[in-house]
A and B are shown apart, each in its own frame.
Chain A
Amino acid sequence: MSKSKVFLCCCEDVTLQEFRDAFTEGFTELESLKRYTGVGTGFCQGKGCLSEAAGELAALRDIPPCDVRLTNIRPPAEPLTFAQLATLDVPDPLDDPGSDT
Protein backbone atom coordinates (compact mmCIF):
# COMPACT_ATOMS: atom_id res chain seq x y z
CA MET A 1 0.00 0.00 0.00
CA SER A 2 1.42 3.32 -0.96
CA LYS A 3 2.30 5.48 2.00
CA SER A 4 2.39 8.64 -0.08
CA LYS A 5 -0.11 11.35 0.72
CA VAL A 6 -2.86 12.38 -1.66
CA PHE A 7 -2.43 16.06 -2.44
CA LEU A 8 -5.41 18.20 -3.21
CA CYS A 9 -3.44 21.42 -3.57
CA CYS A 10 0.11 20.70 -4.67
CA CYS A 11 1.23 24.33 -4.60
CA GLU A 12 0.42 24.79 -0.92
CA ASP A 13 0.87 21.19 0.31
CA VAL A 14 -2.75 20.64 1.32
CA THR A 15 -3.62 16.97 1.53
CA LEU A 16 -7.08 15.63 0.93
CA GLN A 17 -7.20 14.64 4.60
CA GLU A 18 -6.39 18.16 5.77
CA PHE A 19 -9.18 19.54 3.61
CA ARG A 20 -11.63 17.09 5.15
CA ASP A 21 -10.39 17.94 8.64
CA ALA A 22 -10.94 21.62 8.01
CA PHE A 23 -14.48 20.88 6.93
CA THR A 24 -15.06 19.00 10.19
CA GLU A 25 -13.79 22.04 12.05
CA GLY A 26 -16.64 24.03 10.62
CA PHE A 27 -15.33 25.61 7.41
CA THR A 28 -18.18 24.73 5.10
CA GLU A 29 -17.79 27.26 2.28
CA LEU A 30 -15.20 26.97 -0.44
CA GLU A 31 -14.14 30.58 0.20
CA SER A 32 -13.30 29.97 3.85
CA LEU A 33 -11.83 26.50 3.22
CA LYS A 34 -9.59 28.11 0.67
CA ARG A 35 -8.32 30.71 3.10
CA TYR A 36 -7.98 28.40 6.07
CA THR A 37 -6.23 25.49 4.37
CA GLY A 38 -4.52 27.43 1.61
CA VAL A 39 -6.16 25.38 -1.17
CA GLY A 40 -6.14 27.40 -4.37
CA THR A 41 -4.08 30.28 -3.01
CA GLY A 42 -0.73 29.25 -4.47
CA PHE A 43 1.04 30.42 -7.59
CA CYS A 44 -1.29 28.49 -9.89
CA GLN A 45 -4.29 30.16 -8.24
CA GLY A 46 -6.38 27.03 -8.14
CA LYS A 47 -5.98 25.70 -11.66
CA GLY A 48 -4.79 22.39 -10.31
CA CYS A 49 -7.16 21.99 -7.40
CA LEU A 50 -10.30 24.11 -7.23
CA SER A 51 -12.47 21.80 -9.33
CA GLU A 52 -11.32 18.85 -7.27
CA ALA A 53 -11.78 20.76 -4.00
CA ALA A 54 -15.29 21.76 -5.02
CA GLY A 55 -16.10 18.17 -5.89
CA GLU A 56 -14.82 17.04 -2.53
CA LEU A 57 -16.84 19.72 -0.75
CA ALA A 58 -20.00 18.61 -2.56
CA ALA A 59 -19.38 15.08 -1.35
CA LEU A 60 -18.73 16.25 2.21
CA ARG A 61 -21.86 18.36 2.29
CA ASP A 62 -23.82 15.74 0.40
CA ILE A 63 -25.11 18.25 -2.14
CA PRO A 64 -25.14 18.07 -5.93
CA PRO A 65 -21.88 19.39 -7.40
CA CYS A 66 -23.62 22.16 -9.31
CA ASP A 67 -24.70 23.66 -5.97
CA VAL A 68 -21.17 24.38 -4.85
CA ARG A 69 -20.45 28.06 -5.26
CA LEU A 70 -17.16 28.65 -7.01
CA THR A 71 -14.70 30.93 -5.27
CA ASN A 72 -14.04 34.26 -6.89
CA ILE A 73 -11.44 33.81 -9.61
CA ARG A 74 -9.57 37.05 -9.85
CA PRO A 75 -7.68 38.41 -12.82
CA PRO A 76 -5.12 37.85 -14.11
CA ALA A 77 -5.26 34.16 -15.00
CA GLU A 78 -1.51 33.96 -14.92
CA PRO A 79 0.94 36.13 -12.97
CA LEU A 80 2.39 39.09 -14.81
CA THR A 81 5.12 41.43 -13.72
CA PHE A 82 4.61 44.99 -12.63
CA ALA A 83 6.99 46.05 -15.37
CA GLN A 84 4.77 44.39 -17.99
CA LEU A 85 1.67 46.00 -16.55
CA ALA A 86 3.34 49.37 -16.47
CA THR A 87 3.84 49.21 -20.24
CA LEU A 88 0.10 49.38 -20.85
CA ASP A 89 -1.83 52.60 -21.26
CA VAL A 90 -4.23 53.32 -18.42
CA PRO A 91 -7.73 52.36 -19.58
CA ASP A 92 -10.58 54.77 -18.91
CA PRO A 93 -12.79 54.09 -15.90
CA LEU A 94 -15.82 51.97 -16.58
CA ASP A 95 -19.15 53.67 -16.83
CA ASP A 96 -20.80 52.68 -13.57
CA PRO A 97 -23.94 54.70 -12.79
CA GLY A 98 -23.83 53.55 -9.16
CA SER A 99 -26.78 53.42 -6.84
CA ASP A 100 -28.41 55.53 -4.20
CA THR A 101 -28.42 53.09 -1.31
Chain B
Amino acid sequence: MIPLSSGPIPATADAVIIGGGVNGLTTARELAREGLKNIVILEKNYIGSGSTGRCGGGIRQQWTTEENIRLAQESVAMYENMSAELGYQVFFRQGGYLMITESEDDLPALRDAVALQNRCDVPTEFLQPGECLKLVPDLDVSHLKGATFCPKDGTAYPFAVVWGYARACHRAGVKIFIRSQVTGISADDGRIRTVHTDRGDIATERVINCAGPWARSIAAMVGVQLPNKQERHEIMVSESLKPFLDPMVISITNGIYFSQSMRGEIVGGIGDPSEPGLNGPSHFDTRSQLRFAVRFAKALLRYYPRAGQVRMMRQWAGMYDVTPDHRPILGGVPGLDGYYHICGFSGHGFMLGPVTGRKMARYISTGQPDDIITSLSLDRFEKGDLKPDAFVVG
Protein backbone atom coordinates (compact mmCIF):
# COMPACT_ATOMS: atom_id res chain seq x y z
CA MET B 1 0.00 0.00 0.00
CA ILE B 2 1.47 3.38 -0.89
CA PRO B 3 0.23 5.59 1.78
CA LEU B 4 -0.55 9.02 0.60
CA SER B 5 -2.74 10.96 2.93
CA SER B 6 -5.94 12.39 1.67
CA GLY B 7 -8.15 14.80 3.47
CA PRO B 8 -7.25 18.12 5.01
CA ILE B 9 -3.81 19.15 6.11
CA PRO B 10 -3.56 18.77 9.91
CA ALA B 11 -3.64 21.94 11.94
CA THR B 12 -0.64 20.92 14.04
CA ALA B 13 2.36 18.66 13.72
CA ASP B 14 5.45 17.83 15.74
CA ALA B 15 7.59 18.13 12.65
CA VAL B 16 6.92 19.30 9.13
CA ILE B 17 9.28 18.00 6.48
CA ILE B 18 9.35 19.93 3.23
CA GLY B 19 10.16 17.69 0.28
CA GLY B 20 9.12 14.14 -0.59
CA GLY B 21 12.37 12.90 -2.10
CA VAL B 22 15.06 10.71 -0.64
CA ASN B 23 16.00 13.25 2.04
CA GLY B 24 12.48 14.03 3.23
CA LEU B 25 11.35 10.42 3.28
CA THR B 26 14.42 8.95 4.98
CA THR B 27 14.49 11.73 7.58
CA ALA B 28 10.80 11.30 8.34
CA ARG B 29 11.12 7.59 8.80
CA GLU B 30 14.17 7.91 11.03
CA LEU B 31 12.50 10.63 13.07
CA ALA B 32 9.54 8.35 13.63
CA ARG B 33 11.92 5.63 14.77
CA GLU B 34 13.41 8.10 17.22
CA GLY B 35 9.96 8.35 18.74
CA LEU B 36 8.55 11.53 17.28
CA LYS B 37 4.83 11.37 16.50
CA ASN B 38 2.75 13.59 14.25
CA ILE B 39 5.21 13.98 11.43
CA VAL B 40 3.96 15.49 8.18
CA ILE B 41 5.72 15.47 4.81
CA LEU B 42 4.67 18.10 2.28
CA GLU B 43 5.51 17.40 -1.36
CA LYS B 44 4.50 19.87 -4.03
CA ASN B 45 4.35 17.34 -6.84
CA TYR B 46 4.53 13.54 -6.33
CA ILE B 47 7.02 11.66 -4.19
CA GLY B 48 10.33 11.27 -5.98
CA SER B 49 9.40 13.84 -8.65
CA GLY B 50 12.42 16.03 -7.99
CA SER B 51 16.07 15.15 -8.27
CA THR B 52 15.68 11.78 -6.55
CA GLY B 53 13.52 10.39 -9.31
CA ARG B 54 15.77 11.75 -12.02
CA CYS B 55 19.14 10.55 -10.84
CA GLY B 56 21.23 7.65 -12.02
CA GLY B 57 21.03 5.80 -8.73
CA GLY B 58 24.76 5.49 -8.09
CA ILE B 59 26.20 4.82 -4.62
CA ARG B 60 29.96 4.91 -4.05
CA GLN B 61 32.55 5.05 -1.30
CA GLN B 62 35.43 6.22 -3.45
CA TRP B 63 35.99 9.67 -2.01
CA THR B 64 39.21 11.43 -1.17
CA THR B 65 38.69 12.75 2.35
CA GLU B 66 38.24 10.51 5.36
CA GLU B 67 35.09 12.27 6.37
CA ASN B 68 33.47 11.74 2.99
CA ILE B 69 34.61 8.14 2.85
CA ARG B 70 33.20 7.31 6.29
CA LEU B 71 29.89 8.92 5.51
CA ALA B 72 29.55 7.08 2.22
CA GLN B 73 30.64 3.84 3.85
CA GLU B 74 27.86 4.11 6.40
CA SER B 75 25.44 4.76 3.58
CA VAL B 76 26.55 1.68 1.65
CA ALA B 77 26.05 -0.39 4.80
CA MET B 78 22.53 0.98 5.01
CA TYR B 79 21.87 0.11 1.37
CA GLU B 80 23.14 -3.41 1.90
CA ASN B 81 20.41 -3.98 4.47
CA MET B 82 17.78 -1.66 3.15
CA SER B 83 15.53 -4.15 1.38
CA ALA B 84 15.44 -6.35 4.46
CA GLU B 85 14.85 -3.46 6.79
CA LEU B 86 12.10 -1.87 4.78
CA GLY B 87 10.58 -5.14 3.61
CA TYR B 88 10.72 -3.57 0.15
CA GLN B 89 13.12 -4.40 -2.66
CA VAL B 90 15.29 -1.44 -3.57
CA PHE B 91 17.31 -3.33 -6.19
CA PHE B 92 20.69 -2.46 -4.73
CA ARG B 93 23.28 -4.19 -6.87
CA GLN B 94 26.91 -4.00 -5.86
CA GLY B 95 28.56 -4.19 -9.25
CA GLY B 96 31.28 -1.81 -8.17
CA TYR B 97 32.50 1.52 -9.53
CA LEU B 98 35.34 1.66 -12.02
CA MET B 99 36.82 5.15 -12.09
CA ILE B 100 39.06 5.69 -15.09
CA THR B 101 41.37 8.47 -16.15
CA GLU B 102 43.22 9.44 -19.31
CA SER B 103 45.72 11.62 -17.51
CA GLU B 104 49.00 10.67 -15.83
CA ASP B 105 48.59 13.75 -13.64
CA ASP B 106 45.61 12.18 -11.89
CA LEU B 107 47.47 9.04 -10.88
CA PRO B 108 49.20 10.23 -7.69
CA ALA B 109 45.94 11.58 -6.28
CA LEU B 110 44.19 8.36 -7.25
CA ARG B 111 46.78 6.24 -5.52
CA ASP B 112 46.50 8.41 -2.39
CA ALA B 113 42.75 8.08 -2.49
CA VAL B 114 42.96 4.30 -2.74
CA ALA B 115 45.35 4.16 0.21
CA LEU B 116 43.10 6.34 2.30
CA GLN B 117 40.03 4.31 1.38
CA ASN B 118 41.86 1.10 2.26
CA ARG B 119 42.78 2.53 5.65
CA CYS B 120 39.06 3.06 6.17
CA ASP B 121 38.46 -0.58 5.22
CA VAL B 122 37.00 0.26 1.85
CA PRO B 123 38.32 -2.43 -0.55
CA THR B 124 39.32 -0.23 -3.49
CA GLU B 125 42.11 -1.34 -5.79
CA PHE B 126 44.29 0.65 -8.12
CA LEU B 127 44.30 -0.85 -11.64
CA GLN B 128 46.44 -0.58 -14.71
CA PRO B 129 44.42 0.06 -17.88
CA GLY B 130 44.76 -3.55 -19.08
CA GLU B 131 43.41 -4.84 -15.77
CA CYS B 132 40.13 -3.04 -16.41
CA LEU B 133 39.35 -5.56 -19.11
CA LYS B 134 38.67 -8.24 -16.50
CA LEU B 135 35.86 -6.08 -15.22
CA VAL B 136 34.57 -4.58 -18.46
CA PRO B 137 35.76 -6.79 -21.33
CA ASP B 138 34.76 -4.41 -24.11
CA LEU B 139 36.20 -1.27 -22.58
CA ASP B 140 38.52 0.60 -24.91
CA VAL B 141 41.51 1.09 -22.66
CA SER B 142 43.77 2.58 -25.31
CA HIS B 143 43.25 6.11 -23.95
CA LEU B 144 43.54 5.22 -20.29
CA LYS B 145 46.40 5.73 -17.88
CA GLY B 146 44.95 4.15 -14.77
CA ALA B 147 41.80 3.30 -12.86
CA THR B 148 40.42 2.44 -9.44
CA PHE B 149 37.79 -0.13 -8.62
CA CYS B 150 35.73 -0.70 -5.49
CA PRO B 151 33.58 -3.82 -5.68
CA LYS B 152 31.26 -2.71 -2.89
CA ASP B 153 30.00 0.39 -4.68
CA GLY B 154 26.77 -0.05 -6.57
CA THR B 155 23.45 1.24 -7.84
CA ALA B 156 19.86 1.10 -6.60
CA TYR B 157 16.53 2.03 -8.12
CA PRO B 158 15.54 5.49 -6.87
CA PHE B 159 11.78 5.00 -7.05
CA ALA B 160 11.95 1.75 -5.16
CA VAL B 161 13.83 3.53 -2.37
CA VAL B 162 11.19 6.28 -2.42
CA TRP B 163 8.27 3.85 -2.25
CA GLY B 164 9.95 1.62 0.31
CA TYR B 165 10.59 4.53 2.65
CA ALA B 166 7.11 5.93 2.03
CA ARG B 167 5.60 2.65 3.17
CA ALA B 168 7.83 2.55 6.22
CA CYS B 169 6.79 6.12 6.99
CA HIS B 170 3.17 5.17 6.74
CA ARG B 171 3.58 2.20 9.05
CA ALA B 172 5.19 4.56 11.52
CA GLY B 173 2.30 7.01 11.35
CA VAL B 174 3.91 9.69 9.16
CA LYS B 175 1.46 11.53 6.91
CA ILE B 176 2.53 12.28 3.37
CA PHE B 177 0.66 14.95 1.44
CA ILE B 178 1.41 15.25 -2.25
CA ARG B 179 0.42 18.12 -4.52
CA SER B 180 0.80 20.37 -1.48
CA GLN B 181 3.01 23.41 -1.78
CA VAL B 182 4.63 25.41 1.03
CA THR B 183 3.92 29.10 0.52
CA GLY B 184 5.59 30.51 3.61
CA ILE B 185 7.03 29.79 7.05
CA SER B 186 6.45 31.97 10.10
CA ALA B 187 8.79 32.30 12.99
CA ASP B 188 8.94 34.65 15.90
CA ASP B 189 11.11 35.04 18.93
CA GLY B 190 13.68 32.89 17.21
CA ARG B 191 11.31 29.92 17.05
CA ILE B 192 9.50 28.28 14.18
CA ARG B 193 5.74 28.65 14.57
CA THR B 194 3.78 27.87 11.43
CA VAL B 195 4.19 26.38 7.99
CA HIS B 196 1.81 27.91 5.43
CA THR B 197 0.70 25.80 2.49
CA ASP B 198 -1.69 26.20 -0.41
CA ARG B 199 -3.99 23.86 1.48
CA GLY B 200 -3.87 25.40 4.90
CA ASP B 201 -1.54 26.19 7.79
CA ILE B 202 0.23 23.82 10.15
CA ALA B 203 1.37 24.96 13.56
CA THR B 204 4.66 23.30 14.35
CA GLU B 205 7.91 23.78 16.23
CA ARG B 206 10.07 21.91 13.77
CA VAL B 207 10.47 22.40 10.07
CA ILE B 208 13.02 20.40 8.12
CA ASN B 209 14.00 21.72 4.73
CA CYS B 210 14.58 18.73 2.43
CA ALA B 211 13.46 20.53 -0.68
CA GLY B 212 16.48 19.80 -2.87
CA PRO B 213 16.56 22.29 -5.76
CA TRP B 214 14.07 24.46 -3.91
CA ALA B 215 15.86 24.34 -0.57
CA ARG B 216 17.31 27.74 -1.12
CA SER B 217 13.94 29.38 -1.66
CA ILE B 218 12.44 27.53 1.31
CA ALA B 219 15.32 28.72 3.49
CA ALA B 220 14.75 32.27 2.31
CA MET B 221 11.25 32.08 3.78
CA VAL B 222 12.84 32.19 7.22
CA GLY B 223 15.62 34.53 6.27
CA VAL B 224 18.29 31.85 5.96
CA GLN B 225 20.64 32.48 3.06
CA LEU B 226 22.00 29.37 1.45
CA PRO B 227 24.92 29.60 -1.00
CA ASN B 228 23.44 26.80 -3.13
CA LYS B 229 23.16 27.03 -6.90
CA GLN B 230 21.07 24.82 -9.16
CA GLU B 231 22.94 23.11 -11.91
CA ARG B 232 21.19 21.30 -14.77
CA HIS B 233 22.39 17.82 -15.52
CA GLU B 234 21.11 15.59 -18.25
CA ILE B 235 20.94 11.83 -18.23
CA MET B 236 19.75 9.17 -20.58
CA VAL B 237 18.78 5.50 -20.81
CA SER B 238 19.39 3.08 -23.62
CA GLU B 239 17.26 0.20 -24.80
CA SER B 240 17.04 -2.62 -22.33
CA LEU B 241 19.57 -5.41 -23.03
CA LYS B 242 20.57 -8.63 -21.32
CA PRO B 243 23.18 -8.05 -18.58
CA PHE B 244 26.60 -7.29 -20.00
CA LEU B 245 28.02 -4.53 -17.80
CA ASP B 246 28.61 -5.09 -14.12
CA PRO B 247 30.28 -1.95 -12.76
CA MET B 248 29.40 1.70 -13.09
CA VAL B 249 32.12 3.32 -15.18
CA ILE B 250 33.08 6.94 -14.50
CA SER B 251 35.69 8.93 -16.35
CA ILE B 252 37.47 11.54 -14.29
CA THR B 253 38.70 13.04 -17.53
CA ASN B 254 35.48 13.90 -19.31
CA GLY B 255 32.93 13.29 -16.57
CA ILE B 256 30.91 10.63 -18.35
CA TYR B 257 29.31 7.94 -16.19
CA PHE B 258 27.37 4.91 -17.34
CA SER B 259 26.10 1.70 -15.79
CA GLN B 260 23.56 -0.99 -16.56
CA SER B 261 20.39 -0.95 -14.46
CA MET B 262 18.54 -4.00 -13.17
CA ARG B 263 16.14 -3.48 -16.06
CA GLY B 264 19.02 -3.89 -18.49
CA GLU B 265 19.24 -0.28 -19.67
CA ILE B 266 22.47 1.67 -19.84
CA VAL B 267 21.90 4.69 -17.61
CA GLY B 268 24.39 7.48 -18.03
CA GLY B 269 25.20 11.13 -18.21
CA ILE B 270 27.97 13.60 -18.75
CA GLY B 271 28.53 17.05 -17.29
CA ASP B 272 28.46 20.04 -19.59
CA PRO B 273 31.20 22.64 -19.13
CA SER B 274 28.84 25.31 -20.44
CA GLU B 275 26.68 24.91 -17.29
CA PRO B 276 27.70 27.86 -15.09
CA GLY B 277 27.18 26.02 -11.81
CA LEU B 278 28.56 28.03 -8.94
CA ASN B 279 29.86 30.70 -11.27
CA GLY B 280 26.53 31.78 -12.65
CA PRO B 281 22.79 31.85 -12.14
CA SER B 282 20.77 28.78 -11.22
CA HIS B 283 19.17 26.82 -14.03
CA PHE B 284 15.80 25.27 -13.31
CA ASP B 285 14.94 24.26 -16.85
CA THR B 286 14.75 20.48 -17.02
CA ARG B 287 14.05 20.23 -20.71
CA SER B 288 16.30 18.07 -22.84
CA GLN B 289 18.84 19.27 -25.36
CA LEU B 290 20.19 17.53 -28.44
CA ARG B 291 23.61 18.80 -27.40
CA PHE B 292 23.66 16.39 -24.47
CA ALA B 293 22.67 13.40 -26.57
CA VAL B 294 25.42 14.07 -29.09
CA ARG B 295 28.12 14.79 -26.49
CA PHE B 296 27.19 11.72 -24.48
CA ALA B 297 27.23 9.50 -27.54
CA LYS B 298 30.68 10.66 -28.61
CA ALA B 299 32.09 10.23 -25.10
CA LEU B 300 30.51 6.80 -24.64
CA LEU B 301 31.88 5.48 -27.90
CA ARG B 302 35.33 6.67 -26.90
CA TYR B 303 35.37 4.14 -24.08
CA TYR B 304 32.79 1.60 -25.23
CA PRO B 305 32.77 1.37 -29.01
CA ARG B 306 30.64 -1.76 -28.96
CA ALA B 307 27.77 0.45 -27.80
CA GLY B 308 27.74 2.01 -31.29
CA GLN B 309 24.75 -0.06 -32.37
CA VAL B 310 22.98 0.26 -29.03
CA ARG B 311 20.09 2.70 -29.10
CA MET B 312 19.32 5.59 -26.84
CA MET B 313 15.69 5.47 -25.68
CA ARG B 314 15.17 8.76 -23.95
CA GLN B 315 16.93 11.54 -22.14
CA TRP B 316 15.82 13.86 -19.36
CA ALA B 317 17.28 16.33 -16.92
CA GLY B 318 17.36 17.05 -13.24
CA MET B 319 19.07 19.48 -10.94
CA TYR B 320 22.07 19.23 -8.70
CA ASP B 321 21.71 21.40 -5.61
CA VAL B 322 25.36 22.55 -5.59
CA THR B 323 27.32 24.13 -2.73
CA PRO B 324 30.73 25.82 -2.91
CA ASP B 325 32.54 22.69 -1.68
CA HIS B 326 30.15 20.19 -3.27
CA ARG B 327 29.29 18.79 0.14
CA PRO B 328 25.85 18.77 1.77
CA ILE B 329 24.61 21.29 4.28
CA LEU B 330 23.19 19.74 7.45
CA GLY B 331 22.05 20.93 10.84
CA GLY B 332 20.30 24.13 11.77
CA VAL B 333 21.13 27.77 12.17
CA PRO B 334 21.86 29.67 15.36
CA GLY B 335 19.09 31.95 16.51
CA LEU B 336 16.33 30.04 14.81
CA ASP B 337 15.14 27.10 16.89
CA GLY B 338 13.31 24.39 15.12
CA TYR B 339 14.63 25.06 11.62
CA TYR B 340 16.82 22.37 10.08
CA HIS B 341 18.08 21.80 6.58
CA ILE B 342 19.33 18.73 4.75
CA CYS B 343 20.35 19.92 1.30
CA GLY B 344 23.21 20.85 -1.01
CA PHE B 345 24.16 17.29 -1.94
CA SER B 346 25.63 18.46 -5.25
CA GLY B 347 24.64 15.36 -7.13
CA HIS B 348 25.10 12.84 -4.32
CA GLY B 349 21.80 13.08 -2.51
CA PHE B 350 20.63 9.63 -3.40
CA MET B 351 23.80 7.99 -2.20
CA LEU B 352 24.01 9.94 1.07
CA GLY B 353 20.33 10.60 1.78
CA PRO B 354 19.69 7.57 3.99
CA VAL B 355 22.68 8.08 6.24
CA THR B 356 22.24 11.85 6.59
CA GLY B 357 18.54 11.32 7.27
CA ARG B 358 19.44 8.98 10.12
CA LYS B 359 22.01 11.33 11.60
CA MET B 360 19.79 14.36 11.34
CA ALA B 361 16.87 12.51 12.89
CA ARG B 362 19.06 11.63 15.86
CA TYR B 363 20.21 15.23 16.11
CA ILE B 364 16.71 16.63 15.88
CA SER B 365 15.39 14.33 18.57
CA THR B 366 18.35 14.52 20.98
CA GLY B 367 19.71 17.95 20.25
CA GLN B 368 23.23 16.48 20.01
CA PRO B 369 24.88 16.96 16.61
CA ASP B 370 27.51 14.41 15.71
CA ASP B 371 30.84 15.36 14.14
CA ILE B 372 29.56 15.13 10.61
CA ILE B 373 26.67 17.45 11.27
CA THR B 374 28.99 19.95 12.86
CA SER B 375 31.43 19.64 10.01
CA LEU B 376 28.74 20.08 7.39
CA SER B 377 26.89 22.95 8.97
CA LEU B 378 26.15 26.17 7.11
CA ASP B 379 28.64 28.26 9.05
CA ARG B 380 31.58 26.45 7.46
CA PHE B 381 31.36 28.74 4.47
CA GLU B 382 31.83 31.84 6.57
CA LYS B 383 34.61 30.22 8.52
CA GLY B 384 36.28 29.13 5.31
CA ASP B 385 36.48 25.65 6.80
CA LEU B 386 36.01 23.71 3.61
CA LYS B 387 37.32 20.24 2.84
CA PRO B 388 36.39 19.73 -0.79
CA ASP B 389 36.82 16.33 -2.38
CA ALA B 390 39.46 15.97 -5.08
CA PHE B 391 37.25 14.15 -7.57
CA VAL B 392 33.80 15.51 -8.07
CA VAL B 393 32.21 13.43 -10.76
CA GLY B 394 28.87 11.81 -11.46
Those 4 A-B pairs whose CB atoms lie nearest each other, nearest first = A98-B281, A26-B2, A79-B311, A85-B297
B309 CB to nearest A CB, Å = 5
State in angstroms the CA–CA spacing of A43 and B49 once bound together.
22
Q: How many residues of B contact A (CB 8 A)?
A: 49
* B202-210, B282-290, B353-361: which lies at the interface: B282-290
Interface status of A81 (Cβ within 8 A of chain B): yes
In angstroms, Cα B285 to Cα A94, docked, is 11
Are the C-beta atoms of A86 and B284 separated by less than 8 Å?
A: no
* Stretch from A1-9, A50-58, A69-77 that touches the partner: A69-77
Interface residue from B289, B295, B301, B312 paired with A80 (Cβ < 8 Å)? B312
Total A-B residue pairs with C-beta atoms closer than 8 Å?
Answer: 113
Residues facing A in B270-296 (CB within 8 A) are: 272, 274, 276, 280-285, 288-291, 293-296
User: A75 CB to closest chain B CB, in angstroms?
Assistant: 5
* A positions within 8 Å CB-CB of B: 25-29, 31-32, 35-36, 43, 45, 72, 74-76, 79-83, 85-86, 88-94, 96-101
CB distance from B349 to the nearest CB of A (A): 18
Residues on A with beta carbons closer than 8 Å to the beta carbon of B49:
31
CA distance A45 to B252 in the complex (A): 32
A90 to B289 Cα, complex, angstroms: 10
List the interface of chain B (C-beta within 8 A of A). 1-4, 46-49, 53, 159, 163, 178, 216-217, 220, 238-240, 272, 274, 276, 280-285, 288-291, 293-298, 300-301, 307-316
Q: Which residues of A contact B282 (CB under 8 A)?
A: 98-101
With A25-B1, A96-B285 already in contact, the answer to whether A91 and B301 are too (CB < 8 A) is no
A91-B291, A93-B272, A98-B281 known; A75+B310 contact, CB < 8 A: no
